[in-house]
């Protein structure tokens, strides 16, 4: 039986191969070089011998050279033209973010502080390490990672402060005031905790140098990024109070769900926030714009980077790309605002093209390629830097997704053949995640949703789906079937998860 | 008995010999069905298992060890864990197990950590693999967690086998040692409760409430760390005491017998005191000011630039 099936598969593959050759032959224009078969390709960037290339941060200089900081404290510059690395700075503690200020001045987020590193004598190496801010607490807990910085258009900087892990203790000497109410129970061995100021917060550093608490409720916000319009988005990691990893639209004064950080809210009088009824915490919190279903989309999302390339990286200009630590994947996010609230869909990107695990940091190069820095840091991942570039062949993929009164509109990068109009090619189910102190959440209220219609329009690029049911508070998961573009190319990705916070008012559009 | 002392959920599976990777892959294939099955795939390759337990939970598994000789992997198949979180149970009649450092049945990180061959200390003769893509020549520094200082510590390596720890939280020299520098391997691996290990003998600790005073010798000044700049690779720390900028550069004595601390307080508008604790094992001399017991008093002008030499007692 097995052998028979193999023979059948081979025959079928052979037929597809012949068909593909025929299509290519028919399209071939002798005057133009043929496009490669793949839309995206991966190059691995060589790193120096002796470097533990666990990447904490990436950015580019104005001349196209890369700056990178690594977990062991090095800041190095890579020239893609010569493929040579040079050392810029050293001795930092676990730097997890870097931002170019000028070609000789960078901001680096390390354990003890945000540091402004400058080469003032022009010899190519840093000689000044200024404290840009250290106005936040450190307990010495191993999990108090610091993330960022990212800059808004007004010159404010934003950083993220991880909570402490109950898997570890704190040092005898702390920096900052101690508040035992920031942890659950006397020994804090139950949930992530915040016993020194602003752990679990996103902080704003004003141009005058004042560090202000911005928004709270984060557990492990390993990724901050702005979209083209200046909206700040922050990822978090599944765990206690985080049913599945989310992407938040981070706004001043809001609380995003993990209770520990609440003790540092100005005027907080409610004691230990872990003792508040979960229903009260649930009412206080702002929900995620997008949920990344665990085991399906991402288990440990990292930095969100907006595609600023204006098309050089393919058809997804303006969208967010989010790193994933647990698998060889980047997640692409398609956002929209409905009733004033952000929501949207996520879809795998760059699966099966040779991307390693541990995708911790992303940055777009001036040439429009996406550079990905990897880390493991005692966890699942990898080390090194890879570069994803667009080959010029447009993938057949979902480009935008919008909720409608009766379902969803999917816009594709190119026209679909009639397979796009077959409702059987869209398998839909919906589920939600519980908000509770337990580590993670199962999918609950799982329900298959019928697809009552799939109408093609817009020259074959748009599919309007009518669903049997549409409710807020759920992730709608789409498994797309054997849908092809008119040129015969199959879909690049077949799983899409849309987080419905609000329904569109006014019914069908 | 399996006690989950970690901050994440874990399960535990014992598999047939050689089946670990297949079981891990099968667990990943469960995708969204994983949680309901505790990420335990339905396969004969799984001999025994403990379902997912949360932090601080316990579970017990009773089984009769297989009679057949072999290396039986154990593994956590919670998504993402299976590639790094595993080990091996040996059914053998040999008295000794293979050396952990060379045992390919356990993860690379554990081999390196425990194996004699893979011991990774910081630098120099102890280093099996280079710590950095360059050769470190003193002076150089690391920002670290280190015992005996606050969590914003700076460990500085000097020539002459001298090292010191300067605390950027409290803005002061905390202690100094001779011998090798530090081993950062636990810190760099991201281990819980990790600190940099001091590879030498501490000969000095500052036990004063704070060594500098300005305007009033009885008042401990408020401090703020501003950063440092490198002068011939030596860090010159910049901080403020009651709002007045202080610059402090620490070098070794020419014969390695102690530390030479050069202070600059160019904007001092008041007298400055430097204080030490008698009997701390150090002989103090200064380039300016006058000693009153364990206090050096400097006029505002003298405080502009002065040197305090700290020589180890013989």
Please check the confidence at residue A22 and state whether its pLDDT lies above 80.
Answer: no
Q: Lowest-confidence range among A20-29, A71-80, A154-163, A423-432? A: A20-29
The b/e string for B126-135 (b: 16+ C-beta within 10 A; e otherwise) is eeeeebbbbe
pLDDT in the model for residue B78: 85
Please check the confidence at residue B244 and state whether its pLDDT lies above 90.
Answer: yes
The b/e string for A312-337 (b: 16+ C-beta within 10 A; e otherwise) is bbbbbeebbbbbbbbbbbbbbbbbbe
Enumerate residues 6+ apart whose C-beta is below 8 A from A229. Answer: none
Distance from CA of A178 to the nearest CA of B (A): 14
Enumerate residues 6+ apart whose C-beta is below 8 A from A76. Answer: A48, A51, A67, A68, A69, A70, A85, A86, A87, A88, B133
Asked whether residue A188 falls in the same domain as residue A239, the answer is yes
Asked whether residue A30 falls in the same domain as residue A52, the answer is no
B-interface mutation test, from A56, A93, A438, most B Cβ less than 10 A away: A93
- Which of A367, A390, A413 is where one domain is finished? A390
Residue carrying the six token digits 């601390």: B261
What does pTM read for this prediction? 0.84
pLDDT tens readout for residues A198-250: 999 999 999 999 999 999 999 999 999 999 999 999 999 999 999 999 999 99
Q: What is the count of structural domains for chain A? A: 3
pLDDT in the model for residue A465: 98
Asked whether residue A29 falls in the same domain as residue A46, the answer is no
Whole-angstrom Cα distance, residue B57 to residue A266?
A: 35
Enumerate residues 6+ apart whose C-beta is below 8 A from B312. Answer: B203, B204, B257, B258, B281, B282, B283
Distance from CA of A11 to the nearest CA of B (A): 27
The interface residues of chain A toward chain B in range 327-386, judged by CB-CB distance below 8 A, are 376-380
Whole-angstrom Cα distance, residue A146 to residue A159?
A: 7
End-to-end CA distance of chain A: 51
DSSP annotation of B56 reads T
Please check whether residue B60 touches A, CB under 8 A.
no
Across the range A288-300, mean pLDDT stands at 97
End-to-end CA distance of chain B: 55
Q: Do B151 and A112 touch (CB under 8 A)?
A: yes
pLDDT in the model for residue A282: 98
The interface residues of chain A toward chain B in range 174-213, judged by CB-CB distance below 8 A, are 174-175, 189-190, 192
Please check whether residue B228 touches A, CB under 8 A.
yes
Asked whether residue A368 falls in the same domain as residue A468, the answer is no
Asked whether residue A364 falls in the same domain as residue A479, the answer is no
A10: containing domain: 1-34
Question: In the structure, what pLDDT confidence band is assigned to residue A506 with cuts at 50, 70 and 90?
Answer: low
CATH number for the domain whose boundaries are B2-114: 2.60.40.420
Question: Taking the mean position of all CA atoms in its chain, how far away is CA B15?
Answer: 36
Asked whether residue A342 falls in the same domain as residue A471, the answer is no
Chain A residues close to B195, C-beta within 8 Å: 171
Asked whether residue A3 falls in the same domain as residue A78, the answer is no
Please check the confidence at residue A1 and state whether its pLDDT lies above 70.
Answer: no
pLDDT in the model for residue A217: 98
CA max distance for chain B: 85
pLDDT in the model for residue B1: 84
Q: Do B79 and A379 touch (CB under 8 A)?
A: no
Q: Provide ipTM, 2 decimals.
A: 0.91
Please check whether residue B20 touches A, CB under 8 A.
no
Asked whether residue A315 falls in the same domain as residue A434, the answer is no
B-interface mutation test, from A56, A85, A91, most B Cβ less than 10 A away: A91
The secondary structure of A460-484 as a DSSP string is: GTEEEEEES---TTEEEEEEE-S-B
Please check the confidence at residue B99 and state whether its pLDDT lies above 90.
Answer: no
Radius of gyration of chain B from its Cα atoms, rounded to whole angstroms: 28
Q: Do B169 and A173 touch (CB under 8 A)?
A: yes
pLDDT tens readout for residues B140-150: 999 999 999 99
Across the range A325-348, mean pLDDT stands at 97
The H or E element containing residue B296 is: strand B295-298
Enumerate residues 6+ apart whose C-beta is below 8 A from A86. Answer: A76, A77, A79, A124
Q: Do B229 and A295 touch (CB under 8 A)?
A: no
Asked whether residue A6 falls in the same domain as residue A57, the answer is no
Across the range A360-385, mean pLDDT stands at 94
Radius of gyration of chain A from its Cα atoms, rounded to whole angstroms: 24
Please check the confidence at residue A485 and state whether its pLDDT lies above 80.
Answer: yes
Chain B residues close to A70, C-beta within 8 Å: none
Please check the confidence at residue A17 and state whether its pLDDT lies above 70.
Answer: no
Question: In the structure, what pLDDT confidence band is assigned to residue B83 with cuts at 50, 70 and 90?
Answer: confident
Chain A residues close to B193, C-beta within 8 Å: 142, 168-169
pLDDT in the model for residue B109: 67
Q: How many CB pairs (< 8 A) connect A and B?
A: 168
Question: In the structure, what pLDDT confidence band is assigned to residue B6 with cuts at 50, 70 and 90?
Answer: confident
Sign of CA dihedral A162, A167, A171, A172: positive
pLDDT in the model for residue A5: 35
Residue A267, classed as helix, strand or coil, is coil
Please check the confidence at residue A27 and state whether its pLDDT lies above 90.
Answer: no
Question: Taking the mean position of all CA atoms in its chain, how far away is CA A429?
Answer: 23
Q: Lowest-confidence range among A30-44, B151-165, B258-272? A: A30-44
Whole-angstrom Cα distance, residue A327 to residue A320?
A: 18
Q: Which of A445, A504, A497 is nearest to A475 (CA)?
A: A497
Which residue of chain B has the CA closest to A171?
Answer: B151
* Higher-confidence position of B78 and A450: A450
Please check whether residue B6 touches A, CB under 8 A.
yes
Mean per-residue pLDDT over chain A, rounded: 92
Mean per-residue pLDDT over chain B, rounded: 89
Query: Burial of A1 by CB count in 10 Å (0-12 exposed, 13-18 middle, 19+ buried)?
Result: exposed
Across the range B10-22, mean pLDDT stands at 91
Whole-angstrom Cα distance, residue B88 to residue B297?
A: 66
Across the range A331-353, mean pLDDT stands at 96
Asked whether residue A65 falls in the same domain as residue A19, the answer is no
- The CATH number that applies at residue A167 is 2.120.10.30
Question: In the structure, what pLDDT confidence band is assigned to residue A186 with cuts at 50, 70 and 90?
Answer: low
Q: Which of A266, A168, A249, A177 is nearest to A213 (CA)?
A: A266
pLDDT in the model for residue B34: 83
- The CATH number that applies at residue A498 is 2.60.40.1220
pLDDT in the model for residue A33: 59
Q: Do B169 and A140 touch (CB under 8 A)?
A: no
A-interface mutation test, from B121, B151, B163, B184, most A Cβ less than 10 A away: B151
Q: Do A239 and B7 touch (CB under 8 A)?
A: yes
Q: Are A493 and A413 in contact (CB under 8 A)?
A: no
Asked whether residue A231 falls in the same domain as residue A350, the answer is yes
pLDDT in the model for residue B65: 87
Across the range A256-272, mean pLDDT stands at 97
The b/e string for A457-478 (b: 16+ C-beta within 10 A; e otherwise) is eeebbbbbbbbeebebebbbbb
Which residue of chain B has the CA closest to A73?
Answer: B142
């Amino acid at each position: 039986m097995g052998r028979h099936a193999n023979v059948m598969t081979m025959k079928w593959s052979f037929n597809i191969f012949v068909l593909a050759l025929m299509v290519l032959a028919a399209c071939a224009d002798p005057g133009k070089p043929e496009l490669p078969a793949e839309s995206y390709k991966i190059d691995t960037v060589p790193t120096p011998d002796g470097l533990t290339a666990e990447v904490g941060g990436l950015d580019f200089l104005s001349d196209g050279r890369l700056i990178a900081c690594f977990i062991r404290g090095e800041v190095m510059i890579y020239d893609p033209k010569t493929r040579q690395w040079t050392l810029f700075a050293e001795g930092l503690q676990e730097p997890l973010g870097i931002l170019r200020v000028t070609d000789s001045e960078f901001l680096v987020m390390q354990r003890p502080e945000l540091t402004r590193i400058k080469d003032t004598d022009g010899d190519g190496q840093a000689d000044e390490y200024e404290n840009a801010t250290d106005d936040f607490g450190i307990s010495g807990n191993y999990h108090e990672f610091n993330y960022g910085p990212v800059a808004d258009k007004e010159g404010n900087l934003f950083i993220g402060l991880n909570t402490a892990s109950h898997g570890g203790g704190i040092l005898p000497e702390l920096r900052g005031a101690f508040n035992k109410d920031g942890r659950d129970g006397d020994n804090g061995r139950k949930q992530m905790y915040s016993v020194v100021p602003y752990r679990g917060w996103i902080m704003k550093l004003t141009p005058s140098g004042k560090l202000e608490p911005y928004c709270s409720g984060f557990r492990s916000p390993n990724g901050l990024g702005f979209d083209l319009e200046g909206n700040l988005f922050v990822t978090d990691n599944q765990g206690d109070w985080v049913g599945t990893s989310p992407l938040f639209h981070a706004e001043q004064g809001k609380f995003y769900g993990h209770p520990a950080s609440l003790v540092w809210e100005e005027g907080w009088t409610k004691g230990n926030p872990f003792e508040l009824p979960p229903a009260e915490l649930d009412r206080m919190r702002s929900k995620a714009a997008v949920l990344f279903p665990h085991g399906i989309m991402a288990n440990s999302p990292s930095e969100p980077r907006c595609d600023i390339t204006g098309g050089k990286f393919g058809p997804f200009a303006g969208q967010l790309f989010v790193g994933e630590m647990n698998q060889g994947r980047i997640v692409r996010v398609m956002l929209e605002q409905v009733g004033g609230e952000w929501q949207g869909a996520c879809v795998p990107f760059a699966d099966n093209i040779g991307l390693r695990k541990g995708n911790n940091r992303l940055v777009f190069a001036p040439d429009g390629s996406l550079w990905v820095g990897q880390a493991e840091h005692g966890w699942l991942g990898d080390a090194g830097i890879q570069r994803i570039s667009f080959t010029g062949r447009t993938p057949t993929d979902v480009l935008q997704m919008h909720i409608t009164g009766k379902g969803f509109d999917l816009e594709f990068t190119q026209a679909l053949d009639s397979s796009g109009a077959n409702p059987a090619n869209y398998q839909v189910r919906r589920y939600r995640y519980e908000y509770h102190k337990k580590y993670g959440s199962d999918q609950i209220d799982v329900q298959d949703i019928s697809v009552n219609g799939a109408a093609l329009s817009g020259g074959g690029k748009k599919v309007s789906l009518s669903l049997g049911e549409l409710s807020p508070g759920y992730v709608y998961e789409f498994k797309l079937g054997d849908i092809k573009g008119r040129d015969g190319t199959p879909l690049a990705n077949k799983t899409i998860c849309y987080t419905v916070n609000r329904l569109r008012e006014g019914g069908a559009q | 008995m399996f006690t989950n002392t970690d901050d994440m959920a874990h399960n535990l599976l014992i598999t047939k010999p050689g089946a670990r990777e297949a079981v891990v892959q099968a667990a990943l294939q469960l995708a969204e069905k994983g949680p309901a099955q505790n990420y335990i795939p339905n396969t004969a390759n799984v001999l025994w298992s403990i379902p997912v337990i949360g932090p601080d939970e316990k579970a017990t598994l009773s089984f009769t060890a297989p009679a057949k000789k072999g290396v039986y992997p154990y593994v956590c198949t919670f998504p993402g864990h299976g590639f790094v979180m595993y080990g091996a149970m040996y059914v053998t009649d040999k008295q000794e197990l293979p050396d952990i450092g060379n045992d390919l049945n356990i993860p690379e990180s554990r081999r390196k950590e425990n194996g004699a061959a893979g011991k990774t200390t910081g630098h120099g003769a102890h280093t099996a693999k280079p710590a950095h893509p360059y050769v470190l020549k003193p002076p150089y520094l690391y920002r670290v967690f280190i015992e005996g200082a606050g969590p914003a510590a700076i460990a500085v390596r000097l020539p002459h086998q001298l090292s010191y720890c300067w605390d950027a939280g409290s803005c002061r020299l905390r202690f100094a040692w001779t011998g090798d520098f530090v081993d950062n391997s636990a810190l760099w691996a991201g281990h819980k409760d990790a600190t940099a290990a001091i590879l030498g003998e501490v000969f000095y600790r500052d036990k004063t409430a704070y060594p500098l005073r300005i305007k009033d010798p009885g008042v401990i000044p408020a401090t703020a760390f501003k950063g440092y700049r490198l002068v011939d690779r030596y860090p010159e720390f910049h901080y403020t005491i009651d709002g007045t900028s202080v610059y402090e550069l620490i070098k070794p004595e020419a014969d390695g017998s102690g530390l030479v601390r050069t202070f600059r307080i160019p904007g001092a508008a008041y007298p400055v005191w430097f204080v030490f604790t008698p009997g701390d094992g150090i002989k103090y001399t200064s380039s300016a000011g006058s000693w009153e017991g364990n206090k050096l008093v400097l006029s505002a002008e003298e405080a502009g630039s002065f040197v305090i030499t700290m020589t180890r007692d013989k």
